[in-house]
Homo-oligomer: A and B are copies of this chain.
Amino acid sequence: MNLKALHKISYGLCVIGSRKGDRLNGQIANTVCQVCSEPPIIAVAINKKNLTHEFITASKVFTASVLAQDTSLSFIGHFGFKSGRDIDKLEGINYRIGETQAPVVTDNTLAYLEAKVIQQVDVETHTIFIGELVGADIIKEGEPMTYAYYHQVKRGTTPKTAPVYIEEEKGGGN
């Protein structure tokens, strides 16, 4: 079995916004996916170790900001390689409080989605949160940041907690 085959799957990068009470957080995810059109339903896989997992489990809502291709590595690193347990990741970032009361990051964002969790599925290290769309809009036109572009052009890396992490890759950037 050649696990590198998994690298040929295409993804985009999003910031997932979440809240728990009045605490807010954001993290990078590459697994946002529409799974039903009528009604519109999206899904995202989140590592159980992440603060975002705790927040979505508590509040049953999440947002997804689809990042533009020209997003800087440092912006992605801020949300992808730091923990909201250590810092307030939204400090100094432009965002607004959405329909769900969760933060919608607007910096580097082409479009955002907001969802209320209707099901959550336990899959080993991750939970798939399945949410009905309650808000969505386009913020600006442009090309989205794909995971392939992030890796090949930007030379970005992958944290160990990502569903697409494989051992040989040197995650990091903290």
Contact = CB atoms under 8 A, between A and B. Distances in A.
Contact of A39 (B124, B133, B162): B124
Contacts of A12: 8-11
A112 B5 contact: yes
Copies in the complex: 2
A53 interface: no
A84 interface: no
**Contact residues of A: prevailing secondary structure:** strand
A135 interface: yes
B35 A163 contact: yes
A134 B3 CA distance: 10
Interface residues of A, number: 56
A10 B10 contact: yes
A116 B150 CA distance: 30
B146 A10 contact: yes
B123 A8 contact: no
A6 B33 contact: no
A36 B124 contact: yes
A-B complex: 10 closest residue pairs judged by Cβ atoms: A10-B12, A5-B111, A5-B136, A8-B111, A35-B45, A8-B66, A2-B137, A36-B124, A8-B110, A10-B146
Interface of A: 1-12, 14, 31-43, 45, 66, 110-113, 119, 121, 123-126, 128, 130, 133-138, 143-144, 146-148, 162-166
